[in-house]
Structure 1
Amino acid sequence: MGSRRMFFVSWTGLLGLALLVSRGEGQSCLPGVQVVPNLARGRPAFQSSTYQHPKSLVAGKAVDGNCNGNLDGAGSCTHTNGDMEPWWYVDLGDEYAIFAVVIKNRGECCGDRIRGAEIHVGDFVAENSKFNPLCGTIADTSLGSISTIHCNGLRGRFVSVNIPNRNDALTLCEVEVYGMKVEDRCR
C-alpha cells in the first residue's frame, strides 16, 4: 500500500505542477520558466558558519527570492567560512513530497566550490540533515549555473546542501524547493 500511495502522490504532484505551469503561477530562477510556488522562499535557513562580509551573507539569503549570482554586487548569496564539510539547510515547516530542488551557483567567482554538493531531504535535522535520504549531487560548477535536482517525491521537512569530505566554503545564491504537502490519511 505504501508504494501505491507514493506512486499516487508522485503522479498527482506532477499533474498539479503541470497545471500550475500552464497557468503561469509562481516564478523561478530558471529563465522563462513558470512553476508552482517555491516552498523554501522566506523559510528559516541555517548554515555551518557565516563569512564576515559587508553584505551579511547569512543563510536566509539563499531563500530570499533574489536570483542574482553576483555575491559582491547584489549581496544576495550565502557564504560560509572554509569549514570542514560545510552545510546549509532550510526548514520548510512541515512535511512535503519534494519533486525538485533548484540551486543557483555564484556567478562572478569560485563556481567550483559547489562541486559534489549533496542535496538531502528528510525529517531529521540532527547532523545538519546530512543523513537524510540523498536527492542528488551537483555536477555543474560553471559560473552562474542553475542545477535542477529531481527528488522524485522524497518526503521531508528539511532540505539540506552539504559538501562531504572537504574543507571549503559553501556559497549558494538561491535555493528553490518544489513539491506538495503530504497528507497522510492513515493516521
Structure 2
Amino acid sequence: MAFFTTVALLWILSVAAAQNTLQNVALRGRSTQSTNFEGLSSSLNAIDGNLDPIYARGSCFSSKQEASPWWRVDLLQTYRISYISITNRGDCCADYINGAEILIGDSLANNGNNNPRFAKITAIPLGGTDTFESCTGMTGRYVNIILPGTTGYLTFCEVQIFGVPVTPHCNN
C-alpha cells in the first residue's frame, strides 16, 4: 500500500511541477508579418523578450497601413497554449490593436489567418499588458494576430505565449 501512496504522491508532485513550468515559447519561434513599417519595426521585436513599450527604442512591431494587417509566429512545433500576454505601445497609437483577433492552429492556409480564434482584443491601454487565457488550452503551431476586415496599422511591442508541447501518442 505504501508503494501506491508513494507513486500517487510522485505523480501529483510531477503534475504540479509541470503546471508551474510554463515557459514563454514565443522566444524560440520565428515570426513574420503582412508588411513592415519603415524604421525600427520588425516582426522579431514582438518576440525578443523586451517589454519596452516605446517604439523608438526598437522593441515594437508595426505593419504598414493596409487591409487586414497580420503578424504571425511559428512556434516550430504544436503547443497546448494556456495563455498569451500582449504588451501594447506606450508612446502612441494604443487603438491600433483594438479589434484584433488572436488565432491559433496548425494551418498556414491564408497565412494562418483561417485558424480558430483564441481571443478578441477589444483594447489594451497605452503601454499596458493584457493577458488572454483559455480554459481548455487550444493547440497549435502558429499564433496569428490580425485586424480582420479593417484597413489600418497593426502595432504592439511584445507577445508572450505560455504553453506546453503536445506530444504524439503511439498506438501500439
Q: What is the SS of the residue equivalent to 2:156?
A: coil
Give the equivalent residue in structure 2 for 1:38. Answer: 24
Give 1:1-187 correspondences, 5 Å limit: 15-16=16-17, 18-20=19-21, 36-53=22-39, 55=40, 57-72=41-56, 74-151=57-134, 152-186=136-170
Give how far 1:37 is off: 1.9
Unaligned runs of 5+ in 2: 1-14
Q: How many residues align?
A: 157
- 1:106 and 1:65, CA in 2 relative to 1: closer, same or farther beyond 3 A? same
Q: Deviations over 1:96-154 (max 9, x none)?
A: 11111111100110000100110010001121212111100112331012111113311
1:58 CA drift (Å): 1.1
The structure number with the bigger radius of gyration is: 2
Residue identity in the other structure for 1:66: N
More strand by share: 2
Go from structure 1 to structure 2 and tell me whether the alpha carbon gap of 1:166 and 1:16 turns closer, same or farther (over 3 Å shift).
Answer: farther
CA distance in 2, matches of 1:178, 1:17: 12
The code of the aligned residue for 1:40 comes to: A
**CA offsets 1:22-77 (integer angstroms, 9 cap, x no match):** xxxxxxxxxxxxxx321001421000101111x2x1111100011000001x1100
RMSD between superposed Cα atoms in Å: 1.8
- Choose between structure 1 and 2 for higher RCO, CA contacts under 8 A separated by at least 6 residues: 2
Identity of aligned residues (%): 35
Amino acid at match of 2:124: T
Out of 155-164 and 123-132, give the one that drifted further.
123-132
Runs of 4+ in 1 over 2 A off after TM superposition: 14-20
The gaps in structure 1 that reach 5 residues or longer are: 1-13, 21-35
